[in-house]
Structure 1
Amino acid sequence: MSLKTVSISREGAVSIVEVNHPPANTLSSETIADLRKAFKQLADDNETQAIVVTGAGRFFIAGADIKEFTDAFGDYEKAYGMAEAGQALCDEIEQMKKPVVAAINGAALGGGLELAMACDLRIAADDAILGLPELNLGLIPGFGGTQRLRNIVGTAKAVEMILTSKQLNGKEAFEVGLVQASVAKDEVIDTALALAKSLIEGRSMTSVTRALECIVKGENESLEHGLERERNRFAELFLTEDAKEGVTAFIEKRKPKFKHK
């Protein structure tokens, strides 16, 4: 697969997706397309059990490519298509059946923060800058930011951050629950990798994928529908080899040997 603005590497069962689109790793249409290809590849890769996404250099993702916005002036369909592509990328990341951790090594603004919020968990550098400044441009977040920020930090905080274009550093983002940890810049990748590994080590991917599905899809469903899915996925696991192995190992007081089947 040919990717011009994104690279993929691997550390054990964790794949690292790195955006490399100098100077600020903006989400151009090409970068969005490359990221969608990368995540599709990793979704189908049996060797990848978890994913860390980060940015090359000083930036995580500094936002959308503003220069491309000028092509959409006066063109509703083109502007709609830009939002649609960005939302599709974030939706695909959110719907991944493998844990995705954002390693926010630098500025995560606009579309960059929207992508990070689509990940399951987020680690930020203490001095990283996070925010949705679109209203400064006479726009609004268009890649899912109005919805995901509200779901993560609550309505009042989302209103404050979006309407004032307030930006938070990593420590402040941790305090409001936007990220799970704020660490020194040179520790971001290692911390994110350790977190990603902790989500999968000693676990069966048959249960990990179903747990993620229930959590993510349940957010946009009624409690009744969410519980129905939970019952179905719970029952499905009793048909798998790994559930039998996990329960048997617990009874026999030994570590399970999962085959992810």
Structure 2
Amino acid sequence: MSDAVTLSEPRPGVALVTMEDREHKNTFTDALQVGLGEVFQEVGADERYKTAVLTGYGSFFCSGGTRDALLNIQAGGATFQVEDRPNVYSLPLDCPVPVISAMQGHAIGGGLSMGLFADLVVLSRESVYTANFMKYGFTPGFGSTRVFPEKLGTALGGELLLTGRTFRGAELAERGVPFPVLPRKDVLPTALAQAENLAEKPRTSLVMLKAHLTRRLRAELPGVIEEELAMHEVTFHQPEVKSLLMSRYGT
């Protein structure tokens, strides 16, 4: 497995998936994407796991696409869909057992989309959450146009997507997000307590109920991705996008 992602079992039946690419601040490097794919495959296949908690390190949950990858898409060399590799952003949704996103740190762009594809979500009051696609001039991807309204509501989800604004967790709590928003130190312990509660249930029942609850979202997602990619064909290749990526990325 990639060193960027580790798998442990802190409590019986609970898989703890930790993203810890400190050099790249948990951006979607090849190492992080491959590591996540391998770990989630193991979690789904191992009958002893009844649930999974996905988290990051320190003040970073997941920082989304790298600038090099985004510039490559802008130049027409790639899309955010990678051939012969699982869609990293939807791994929490595709995992057969329930997944809890313990977003103790900043979650940016595709990193926030991935976190919202989990079944349960815990946010940090101090951390930054943003769908910053439009900050760089291109329309959102990573299934965000479907999952943001689904999990945050039409008004708030649309605001994040349209404006590219940055929100602290405390501000999202004031806006009424339907998730716990806690001090950073409490995010992972709370998620693990939720996971321990889930792990008391039979795995078969958890798998069947998750499949039922996510059926509509899973059915609609491929069509949404096609529409996002079609918008990218128009919006990503504008010269302003390259300029904004060069001047604003990471700010």
Q: TM-score range by the shorter chain?
A: 0.7 to 0.9
| 1:1-261 alignment, distance < 5 Å | 2-12=1-11, 13-23=13-23, 24-75=25-76, 78-82=78-82, 88-176=87-175, 178=177, 180-201=179-200, 203-219=201-217
TM-score normalized by the length of structure 2: 0.79
What's the RMSD between the two structures over aligned residues? 2.2
* Contact 2:89 2:114 (8 Å CA) reproduced: yes
Deviating runs (4+, > 3 A) in structure 1? 84-87, 174-179, 218-222
Deviation at 1:176, TM superposition (A): 4.4
Provide the rounded CA distance (Å) in 2 between the counterparts of 1:126 and 1:157. 17
- Per-residue deviation, residues 98-125 of structure 1 (Å, max 9, x unmatched): 1101111111011110110111111111
Provide the rounded CA distance (Å) in 1 between the counterparts of 2:97 and 2:84. 22
Question: What is the aligned partner in structure 1 of residue 244 from structure 2?
Answer: none
Q: Which runs of 5+ in 2 are unaligned?
A: 221-251
**SS of alignment partner, residue 155 of structure 2:** helix
**SS of alignment partner, residue 123 of structure 1:** strand
* Contact 1:52 1:193 (8 Å CA) reproduced: yes
Structure 1 pair 80–204 and aligned structure 2 pair: CA distance change class (3 A): closer
Determine which structure has greater relative contact order: mean sequence separation of CA pairs < 8 Å that are 6+ residues apart, divided by chain length.
2
Q: Which runs of 5+ in 1 are unaligned?
A: 223-261
Deviation at 1:208, TM superposition (A): 1.2
Please say which structure displays the higher CA radius of gyration.
Answer: 1
* Contact 2:73 2:80 (8 Å CA) reproduced: no
**SS of alignment partner, residue 16 of structure 2:** strand
Aligned length: 218
Structure 1 pair 64–86 and aligned structure 2 pair: CA distance change class (3 A): farther
- Per-residue deviation, residues 139-172 of structure 1 (Å, max 9, x unmatched): 2221111110011122232221111112222233
**SS of alignment partner, residue 79 of structure 1:** coil
- Could you tell me the percent identity over the aligned residues? 25
Structure 1 pair 150–42 and aligned structure 2 pair: CA distance change class (3 A): same
